[in-house]
Structure 1
Amino acid sequence: MTSIIKLHCLSGAGDESPPCYVLQIDEFKILLDCGWDEKFDMDFIKELKRHVNSIDAVLLSHSDPLHLGALPYAVGKLGLNCPIYATLPIYKMGQMFMYDLYQAHRNVSDFDLFTLDDVDAAFDRIQQLKYNQSVNMKGKGLGIRITPLPAGHSLGGTVWRIAAPGEEDIVYAPDFNHKKERHLNGCEIERLMRPSLLLLGAMNADYVQQRRRLRDEKLMTTILTTLRGGGCVLVCTDTAGRVLELAHMLDQLWRNRDSGLVAYSLLLLSNVSYNVVEFAKSQIEWMSDKLTRAFEGARSNPFALRHLQLCHSVAEVTRTPGPKVVLASFPDLEAGFARDLFLQWAPHQQNSIVLTARTSPGTLARDLVEKGGDRTIELVIRKRLRLEGAELEEFLQQQKQRVHHNNTIKEETTGISSDSDSDGELEMWVVTGRHDIPVRHDTRPSGCFKSNKRHHAMYPFHEDRNRNDDYGEIIKPEDYRLAEIVDAEGEIRDVPPAPPQKQEPEEEMTEIPSKCVTSVRQVSIKANIQYIELEGRCDGESLLRVVAQAKPRSIVGLRAPEPALMALKKYCEAENIENIFIPNKGDIIDATTESHIYQVKLTDALMSGLVWRPCGDAELAWLSAACCPRAMRPLPDDESTSDVLMSLEPAEGTAHTASFINTVKLSELRTAIAKIGLNTEFSGGALECCNGTIAIRRLENGRVALEGVLSEEYYKVRELLYDQFAIV
């Protein structure tokens, strides 16, 4: 039995937008990745919102924002509520990516697309899998099985193999690398053989990659030349993906005394640099065989990086003396510490800026890769500055008014309240908590005047705040705040310790009063700009060879510019691949194997009229129906089109001859006849009973014939014979 397979390209088709696809297998819908780029395109979110309630499962292939950046928004704001499947490193490192992304934008703007709580809620839904661990879907997805395979592009990176009912086998490979690296094994190409449908990321289909040795030499030459010239090197990389390969390689070079690099500093700068290195130390089993053997043999952790200093602010980098190499996030230079250092170091010609990825079109990094440096560009500078003067006074005044308003509401809720009894004049003074039950004395008023009575709580509860820690020291909130340094431009990077206060404030201020400002600056780029490709993807030649070896029946080229897609299509035609799809954003690809297969709905009126007959372990029924279009089904939100679904309606005035379904075994029939007390025996290939007056024979055409004298026993035997069939 085949399945109806459709692919709806929400994003990542026909261009370099982030990958996000809805794969429909019959009635089961799978969201393949949920990426978001540096622009945070809301048009893509509107398209995702249409499908979010019908998605049954989410598969994540990599941990960077390009593959899961919109997941917190989908869970926190759109209400995505389904199982999410990913490997353990994607779960761990994906959180670090999103924490760093959120903090990088929050440091310079009022970022409100999602919160850290949304990030936690999204990753709490992830079901962690191991490589080659198969999971069977349930409910509508009965018969569908998913299996994660190593992709080789990032730690825990996945190529998904999806087995559909029947012989359909789908492989989703957006980004993969077949070559071994220092900290990762390559993709297992043999596991991708002969799928029915290959969903392939064709980003590098026409890209000629430089050899690894030449790339490493170029990087080392740039670093040594810059450091010996008294300059600094900024290596723009990601938070927790490709940075591991770079950090491991550079730390090994720093350990080599002959390199002459020990005299210089090597720094890793991001908001979560400490956590990234700690997680990498605990995930050695997901790395290359070489690192695994080294850890098992000598118990030496390859990510115990002795020469790598971990930094969490630009101020820490500034305090580090002398020439230095800094690995900073993000590679697109649109936000984060890499952009901050770029603005500081780009105007000085003794420095070098190393770009390790092409990133998306329109980003600052892509512009530098295509046009180079030695020019002046106009950049939008966003900062968060501390409030001063009249702005600070106005903020503090609003803060006091808000505190006073909250205290007033609190007093009205838990303080003195007035109430009236049946006579309308009794005033009660009850000082209770929010959920306390007041008790009224059982006293009756005497005379003609009303009397005021004081009431107490039946179960009073008083919560005493602990002002001391376990060792008797007084707890001071200001001791737990991070230190802050305001740079020369007035930009906030950390939180300074608050001045000591003589008395406890009514309400503690949760954040430093600040504002976000935007300006336009002319930045002169005099530093040495070098693009050294360290993305960890297959190059064009290798990608096309993988396609030739996999030999899929159908292939869909995804997330690539038009020249790369045309190169892939031309190669597939030369290799005689049956179907090649090159979709654009918003297209729906019908990749069903069978050409004449349709999907229809069974109406309630039809199902209620069926008469089911048992036949072994199954039940059968005769169906007489006509295929006709259903009423137009309105789609949610602002869609202007509707789907016309075909349905089966009961066909009136149709009749059919009863069909006997089953293969009768005479031996089983003999046992059934013996149970009602009739003697049977085989004679001349026929089953005879009742002293030869009734005979049951198997004819040459496979049918069964009943012969004999009409009697009560004859009808009993005939009824037993009918019971051997499902009559529909």
Structure 2
Amino acid sequence: MFTFTPLLGAQSPSPASQSLLELDGGVKILVDVGWDESFDSTKLQALEKHVSTLSIVLLTHATIEHIGAYAHCCKHVPGFSRIPCYATTPVMNMGRTLTLDLYGSSPNAASTIPRDSIYSSPVTAAADEAANLLLQAPTADEVATYFSLINPLKYSQPHQPIPSPFSPPLAGLTITAYSAGHTLGGTLWHIQHGLESIVYASDWNLGRENFLPGAAWLSSGDGGEVLEPLHRPTALVCSSRGVERTETLAKRDRDLRIVSLIRETVAQGGKVLIPTDSSSRVLELAFLLNTTWRENIDGPHSDTYRNARIYMASRGSKTSVRYLQSMLEWMDASVVQNAEAAITRGDAQGNSSGPLDWKFVHQVERRSQVEKALKKGKPCVLLASDASLEWGVSSQALQSLASNPKNLVILTEVAGQVEAKRRGVGRQLWEMYQSRQGLDLSQNGAKVVNGDGHAVELRLSKPEPLTSDENMVYQQYIARQRQMHSSLQGDTTLLGDTAADLADDQASESSESEDEDDDAEHQGRAFNVSAQLTSNKRKTTGLTDAELGVNILLRGKDVYDYDVRNKRGREKMFPFVAHRSRNDEFGDVIKPEDYLRAEERDDVDGVDLKNANVEGVDGNAAKGQKRKWDDSVKGRRDREQKGPNKKAKTEQKDGPDAIDAVIAKVTGESGSGGGGAVSNGTVEEESSDSEESEYEPEDDAEAKPQKIAFSTQSLELHLRIAYVDFSGLYRLNDLQGLIGRINPRKLIVTAGDMSETRLLADTCRAVENGTAVGEIFTPVDGEVVDASVDTNAWTVKLTRQLVRRLNWKDLGTDKPSIAAISGLLGSESAEESLKTEPEEEGAKKKLKLTKAGQQPTGHTDSAKAALPILDLLTAQSTTLHQRAAQPVHVGDLRLAEIRAAVQAQGHTAEFRGGGTLLVDGTVLVRKSPTTGSIEVEGANAALSTPGWRTMTNEATFYAVKRVIYERLAVVSGA
């Protein structure tokens, strides 16, 4: 069984990609965790519903469209970080730099709390207006932790992944990564599970580029044959993004055009802005420009190249370039050869000018550095993130360069319309480029459009602190989310006495490895934990039975049973933690909850709960909190400065809403990340006027809860606009030539808008040689497609006598063995099955219980009891059924193997058109594209005449036959 469900990006203007593959046995594979420039968390709700059942996650490219929501899901979606994730090493490294650039450059990337989650809380009417409350963005350390959880893979390396804790067994699932081009480390995934052979190809590029290799569809030297694992898959999942491109320049013409546009603009004293991504396609552009500058610095246009500088502007540009030094094997073969040659000929000072010596590309990461580079009078080329111009340095650079008609913006890809009601800046520039009439054709024939004061609408975002009412909403939301996360993950640390025991164990284990000073600190934390445990008892309602999981046995009313079948981990065990007595050299460890006052136990919801805050009513450290070194002096000074008004405000009687805020505050401190600094329900004001705070890594990211305010600004454009296709995606005619060779049984088109999907589907209806794809599916987001293989499989049990007579034939390295079977199919009862293997202790026990008239305990599988049996043919059955397996030749030969073998025997062999091999000019060897059979025949009409069998021709003919037979396994009947 194989079903495919696109979660995001199918027949949609959004370029994001998320796909769910469900295989037999409940195995679920998520391919890509993409997002788009809207950073709308509601688009991830379809993904969140499947997280608790996912087995593994596969990542294809280090772009926002494929990996943008990975860190967000790890931080905010419960259980997602526990799912094993697989990707190539460049996708891991470049994805990390992309994520850091994303969260460091755009406050909107943290996403906002969904409105329905806010409205569901019992708050005042003023809180309903607080819509754009920002979620807490992952910190740099958290991002590094999330990406370190990814399991790196190499190309062409079959791997059997490890399932997630809540996944069923994978039953021999094998994943293999192949080069997809387009980005460094970009991946074509081959997924093998049982009879299903699935090839997932998203955003691939068949042609080689300057820096990046092409997609590994074809094997080198095979006369254009598709790699064996990728040939004839049961399903091919292919993206359709970019198939409508009309400008299809060759790589050489594309490079010449973009270099000519840059040279002409720089010679006139203008600046060039090329909006691109942070860590994938920008590497190809930077490599091309660095090579051009190095080769022409002493050429006829030397003055032009010397006066212009190239800037690679993104928050992680230096990190990306540093990563390249350790990922040489992932680049194009020509780059590897040049780099190795440069290292070999390098002088003693190490001044070798290799392809990875990017001395002409300057990496800038700060906003101040970008402004300084743009304000200079010298011309420059700015490779800025992002291609959508919605975030990053490109939006800032566009505003600085818009007023000068000498400047030029080069669009390298067609920006999509992310939101239905709003067009992004990149989309507006693309539409302006297509619709403007006053055209200026440059010397290389490129179309250049003048701005002429045309206005585009910019959407600016700015984080702001929360008001007191908004802060209550935020803290309550954070408290509910943490409670739900702990429940969904089977966490029992909030379950009264059991939680107290566990907290006691954790505190004692930590104290064993610390000194005496640390013991006092752990004891203070334990007192604080007791207040949190009692306060958290109020937050046990509002969760569904599915969210509670096995904890429903403790929290549910009149619930005494829970189905643990097919459960894993904590869901399979009763939510109880055995109490272990802990003691130290002074005796038993004190349990703070045993010493709570009566009013603390009975009136948990009372005003005394506010004493559990970080600061007490009088400003001192609360009960159980360790006082800081200078707290006695500094705290007194701060309280004197605050004056009586602040003190009077803190002494007001808390209402129900204030108590909820305090509870949320206490719960927030017990979790990771926190919800920000809150003092008595108010938010401490802070300055957000510094422009450097968005980009500088050394500036501490604001931990306090914030909201985001959007504003629009009209920007008049007087610069020029050009377009050169540098997206690095396959062209439609590439797939037309490949689809007949891949020959998939079923084709699933995804990751493209409606027109692109239909165009690709119509093109693949019929391919060359008269063959056609069996079925073509074009699902939309959320539509489930059943693409199972058209083969029925049954499971039978072989008797030991039959197994002993099997004659296994080896098909080669990394290939399964095969044997032919002739037997009599029958059935047996459960009792006969038990008698067949009396040596098994479990079978003996079941047999005794059955004879005694008792039913064995446990779950019995009726399907196994009725398993059909295949036994040896008796003499009578052989007479009645004269059907024995005839000897057959099994194996998959490639023409390249035959060519190498016959050449080793002294014959000449060369490939001819149409996948034909000509041996000694007299014998033709063909391979059928549909059946895979090998055909050997004479090369001309003279060979078919009776006198064609000369000694030379006949020797060549039988030599080729002998080579073929030697490489096939002969399987005879058993």
Normalising by structure 2, report the TM-score. Answer: 0.51
Amino acid paired to 1:20? Q
| 1:364 pairs with one of 412, 425, 440 | 425
Distance 1:433 1:181, change over 3 A: same
Distance 1:463 1:562, change over 3 A: closer
Amino acid paired to 2:206? H
Cα distance in 1 for residues equivalent to 2:710 and 2:733: 45
Which structure 1 segments of 5+ residues have no match? 392-429, 441-460, 466-485, 499-507, 600-607, 622-647, 665-697, 705-728
Amino acid paired to 1:23? L
Amino acid paired to 2:368? A
Distance 1:41 1:610, change over 3 A: farther
Cα distance in 2 for residues equivalent to 1:700 and 1:525: 92
Q: Residue 50 of structure 2 corresponds to which residue in structure 1?
A: 51
Q: Residue 950 of structure 2 corresponds to which residue in structure 1?
A: none
- Tell whether 2:211 aligns with 1:158: no
How far did 1:72 drift? 1.4
Q: Residue 678 of structure 1 corresponds to which residue in structure 2?
A: none
Q: How does 1:8-407 map to 2 (within 5 A)?
A: 8-17=5-14, 18-26=16-24, 27-78=26-77, 79-80=79-80, 81-106=82-107, 112=135, 114-116=137-139, 117-137=141-161, 140-166=169-195, 168-189=196-217, 190-191=226-227, 192-208=230-246, 209-255=248-294, 256-257=296-297, 258=299, 259=301, 260-299=304-343, 301-320=354-373, 321=376, 322-361=378-417, 362-372=423-433, 373-374=451-452, 375-383=454-462
| 1:546 pairs with one of 722, 734, 738 | 738
Distance 1:285 1:198, change over 3 A: same
Q: Secondary structure at the match of 1:544?
A: helix
Cα distance per residue 1:345-401 (max 9 Å; x no partner)? 1222121111212232132212211223441123222346999xxx9xxxxxxxxxx
How far did 1:323 drift? 1.4
Cα distance per residue 1:488-539 (max 9 Å; x no partner)? 99675667999xxxxxxxxx99899999764322200111111211111111
- Asked if 2 retains the 8 angstrom alpha-carbon contact of 1:75 and 1:118, the reply is no
Cα distance in 1 for residues equivalent to 2:431 and 2:187: 30
- Asked if 1 retains the 8 angstrom alpha-carbon contact of 2:307 and 2:379, the reply is no
- Tell whether 2:910 aligns with 1:701: no
- Asked if 2 retains the 8 angstrom alpha-carbon contact of 1:33 and 1:59, the reply is yes
Cα distance per residue 1:639-666 (max 9 Å; x no partner)? xxxxxxxxx9979xxx99x9986339xx
- Percent identity between the two aligned chains: 28
How far did 1:702 drift? 5.0
- Tell whether 2:520 aligns with 1:433: yes
Q: How does 1:461-480 map to 2 (within 5 A)?
A: none
| Structure with the higher fraction of residues in strand conformation | 1
- Asked if 2 retains the 8 angstrom alpha-carbon contact of 1:72 and 1:114, the reply is no
Cα distance in 1 for residues equivalent to 2:198 and 2:707: 50
Cα distance in 2 for residues equivalent to 1:488 and 1:228: 38
| Structure with the higher fraction of residues in helix conformation | 2
Aligned length: 540
Q: Residue 519 of structure 1 corresponds to which residue in structure 2?
A: 711
Cα distance in 2 for residues equivalent to 1:355 and 1:279: 26
Q: Secondary structure at the match of 2:779?
A: coil
Cα distance per residue 1:128-159 (max 9 Å; x no partner)? 00001111245621122110000111100000
Distance 1:118 1:49, change over 3 A: farther
- Asked if 2 retains the 8 angstrom alpha-carbon contact of 1:204 and 1:543, the reply is no
Q: Secondary structure at the match of 1:275?
A: helix
How far did 1:66 drift? 0.8
Cα distance in 2 for residues equivalent to 1:248 and 1:566: 35
Q: Secondary structure at the match of 1:434?
A: helix
Distance 1:703 1:548, change over 3 A: closer
How far did 1:44 drift? 2.5
- Asked if 2 retains the 8 angstrom alpha-carbon contact of 1:381 and 1:521, the reply is yes
Cα distance in 1 for residues equivalent to 2:267 and 2:252: 22
Q: Residue 445 of structure 1 corresponds to which residue in structure 2?
A: none
Cα distance in 1 for residues equivalent to 2:518 and 2:21: 61
| 1:613 pairs with one of 820, 831, 834 | 834
Distance 1:262 1:201, change over 3 A: same
Q: How does 1:516-595 map to 2 (within 5 A)?
A: 518-575=710-767, 576-594=772-790
- Asked if 2 retains the 8 angstrom alpha-carbon contact of 1:281 and 1:304, the reply is no
How far did 1:309 drift? 1.2
How far did 1:160 drift? 0.3
- Asked if 2 retains the 8 angstrom alpha-carbon contact of 1:15 and 1:560, the reply is yes
Amino acid paired to 1:566? R
Amino acid paired to 2:370? V
Distance 1:699 1:312, change over 3 A: closer
- Asked if 1 retains the 8 angstrom alpha-carbon contact of 2:155 and 2:178, the reply is yes
How far did 1:610 drift? 7.5
Distance 1:703 1:58, change over 3 A: same
Cα distance in 2 for residues equivalent to 1:28 and 1:67: 21
Distance 1:661 1:101, change over 3 A: closer
Cα distance in 1 for residues equivalent to 2:371 and 2:868: 88
- Asked if 1 retains the 8 angstrom alpha-carbon contact of 2:413 and 2:726, the reply is yes
RMSD across aligned positions (CA): 4.2
Q: Residue 903 of structure 2 corresponds to which residue in structure 1?
A: none
Distance 1:234 1:313, change over 3 A: same
- Asked if 2 retains the 8 angstrom alpha-carbon contact of 1:14 and 1:560, the reply is yes
- Tell whether 2:872 aligns with 1:663: yes
Q: How does 1:448-487 map to 2 (within 5 A)?
A: none
How far did 1:546 drift? 2.0
- Asked if 1 retains the 8 angstrom alpha-carbon contact of 2:732 and 2:760, the reply is no
Cα distance per residue 1:400-443 (max 9 Å; x no partner)? xxxxxxxxxxxxxxxxxxxxxxxxxxxxxx99933579989xxx
- Asked if 2 retains the 8 angstrom alpha-carbon contact of 1:63 and 1:91, the reply is yes
Amino acid paired to 2:28? K
How far did 1:33 drift? 0.8
Which structure 2 segments of 5+ residues have no match? 111-132, 163-167, 218-225, 344-351, 418-422, 434-450, 468-516, 524-583, 588-625, 631-686, 796-828, 844-859, 881-974
Distance 1:614 1:574, change over 3 A: farther
Q: Residue 684 of structure 1 corresponds to which residue in structure 2?
A: none
How far did 1:118 drift? 4.4
| 1:7 pairs with one of 4, 8, 11 | 4
Amino acid paired to 1:304? D
Cα distance in 2 for residues equivalent to 1:497 and 1:700: 86
Cα distance in 2 for residues equivalent to 1:249 and 1:511: 41
Q: Secondary structure at the match of 2:734?
A: helix
Q: Residue 415 of structure 1 corresponds to which residue in structure 2?
A: none
Q: Secondary structure at the match of 1:574?
A: coil
- Asked if 2 retains the 8 angstrom alpha-carbon contact of 1:386 and 1:490, the reply is no
Distance 1:126 1:596, change over 3 A: same
Amino acid paired to 2:96? Q
- Asked if 2 retains the 8 angstrom alpha-carbon contact of 1:99 and 1:272, the reply is yes
Q: Secondary structure at the match of 2:252?
A: helix
